[in-house]
Each structure stands twice: as structure tokens, then as C-alpha cells.
Amino acid sequence: AQSVTQPDIHITVSEGASLELRCNYSYGATPYLFWYVQSPGQGLQLLLKYFSGDTLVQGIKGFEAEFKRSQSSFNLRKPSVHWSDAAEYFCAVGAGTGTASKLTFGTGTRLQVTL
Amino acid sequence: EPEVTQTPSHQVTQMGQEVILRCVPISNHLYFYWYRQILGQKVEFLVSFYNNEISEKSEIFDDQFSVERPDGSNFTLKIRSTKLEDSAMYFCASSDGGRAITDTQYFGPGTRLTVL
């Protein structure tokens, strides 16, 4: 069965600093990988996804992620964090039976941004 | 921009009572999902629904749970006899189904269910 590990529960960065959120996955086949962000009181918003092709994926809000098969990782990065990026970030792997997909999420990383 | 909506935002119920959580998926989407997040834990898949039937369900989705698309717009999750451990945030999601597994799932804001 697939699984996702986000080793960092809570990260604090200064505004303007770079950010990297770690994600490791376990999945027997080609993984479909996603990063979602959840702001307080909001639903989960997709930042980016990877399912094939270029291993460096660009997303919304200036985020990018790199798929590294050898390390089973899909880390999320942003070169310069803004205060509005404070939220909870979830990595997920998609799998399915051929029709609908299901997402398996990590436990999330809460990002705090200091001014 | 189209979005998934959920009602109510917060539901409080007594243990043993039935609750129905409602979702309006994005209008042209074909696949529908329910997930839940117990406070402090990860988001967990409950069920996927396509073509008026369940595609897949998790071990959490036992006989106490059911889903329905009663009309062309709503997608509901019913819990027949709520237990304390059903207290969680319940998220509805939908996808357009063009490529199924790689499709983006769009999530609603969630319904917080509190069972007393």
C-alpha cells in the first residue's frame, strides 16, 4: 500500500527566506504526486502535481517541487517566502483501480512565517 | 472560478444520531470523493464515487456510512448512527475524470462534525 511521510511537523522561516518542505513516498508503481496547501478555515488547494515528464514541476504561488525517484522524494521549494504562505502543506500520492483515484496524504507540515 | 461547496460548515450531533453532510461538486465533474481528517491526524480517504456507484472505499467506510447523488448537483455522505470517533473534518472533492488517476481533485472547505 502507498504511504507518504512528511518528516517535519512544524517549520518556521523568516519572510524572504527560502523554503524546502520534505516529502517521501512509498508506492510500488509510478507515483502520481501532489502538494496541497490548507489555510485556516479553507479547503485543500492544489499547488502542483507530478505524473510524468520533467521532474521539476512548477506550481502556483511561486512554488516548485522536484521528483527524485532514487530518493523516493518530492520536496516542495520556494525561493522567497511571503507572510501569506503561512499554512499547512500536505504531500499526497495518488493511486487507483483504473477509474477513480484516491489520495494518500502525509501528516502535513505547518509553516509559520516570521516578519 | 468554480469551486466545491459544502454544508453545513459545522455540525454538532448526539452520539447515535444520523447526520447527512452535503456537497455540491464542480458542475462538469464526474468523480466524487469524501475524505476525513480527525483533529491532529492526516487526511484519510473514505470513498470515491463514479457513474452513480462506489468505485472504491476504505476500511473506515463501513456499513454506518453511505453516499448518494440524489440529484444532478448534490453529493451526500450519511452516517447512520454517529460515534464519538466520527468527530472529524469531512472534505468533499471532485475531479473531471478526463484521465482519472492523474486528475486534480478539487476540495471543498470541509464540514466539521462534532459528536457529543
B26-57 pLDDT, tens digit each = 998 989 999 999 988 889 999 999 889 998 89
Flag if B42 and A98 touch (Cβ within 8 Å).
Answer: no
Contact A23, A3 (CB under 8 A): no
Dihedral sign from CA coordinates of B81, B86, B90, B92: negative
DSSP B75-116: EEEEESS--GGG-EEEEEEEE--SSGGGSPPEE---EEEEE-
Flag if B33 and A102 touch (Cβ within 8 Å).
Answer: yes
Contact B4, B24 (CB under 8 A): yes
Average pLDDT over residues A100-106: 85
A85 three-class SS: helix
A40 pLDDT higher than 70: yes
DSSP state of B60: T
Contact B113, B20 (CB under 8 A): no
Query: pLDDT band for position A97 (50/70/90)?
Result: low
- Rounded Cα distance, A48 and A68, in Å: 15
B74 three-class SS: coil
Flag if B49 and A43 touch (Cβ within 8 Å).
Answer: no
Dihedral sign from CA coordinates of A4, A62, A18, A53: positive
pLDDT of residue B40: 83
pLDDT of residue B41: 86
Task: For residue A102, list chain B residues with Cβ-Cβ distance below 8 A.
Answer: 33, 45, 48, 56, 58
Average pLDDT over residues B72-92: 95
Query: pLDDT band for position A96 (50/70/90)?
Result: low
- Rounded Cα distance, A105 and B1, in Å: 25
Query: pLDDT band for position A95 (50/70/90)?
Result: confident
Percent of chain B with pLDDT over 90: 72
Flag if A32 and B102 touch (Cβ within 8 Å).
Answer: yes
C-alpha cell at A112: 509559520
A43: nearest CA in chain B? Answer: B109
pLDDT of residue A42: 79
B94 pLDDT higher than 80: yes
Query: pLDDT band for position B81 (50/70/90)?
Result: very high
Distance from CA of B3 to the nearest CA of A (A): 10
If you average pLDDT over every residue of chain B, what do you get? 91
pLDDT of residue B101: 62
Selected for mutation to probe chain A from B10, B38, B90, B102 (highest A CB count within 10 Å) is B102
pLDDT of residue A52: 81
Distance from CA of A59 to the nearest CA of B (A): 13
Q: Please, which residues have CB within 8 angstroms of residue A33's CB and are 6 or more apart in sequence?
A: A23, A25, A49, A50, A51, A65, A67, A74, A91, A92, A93, A94
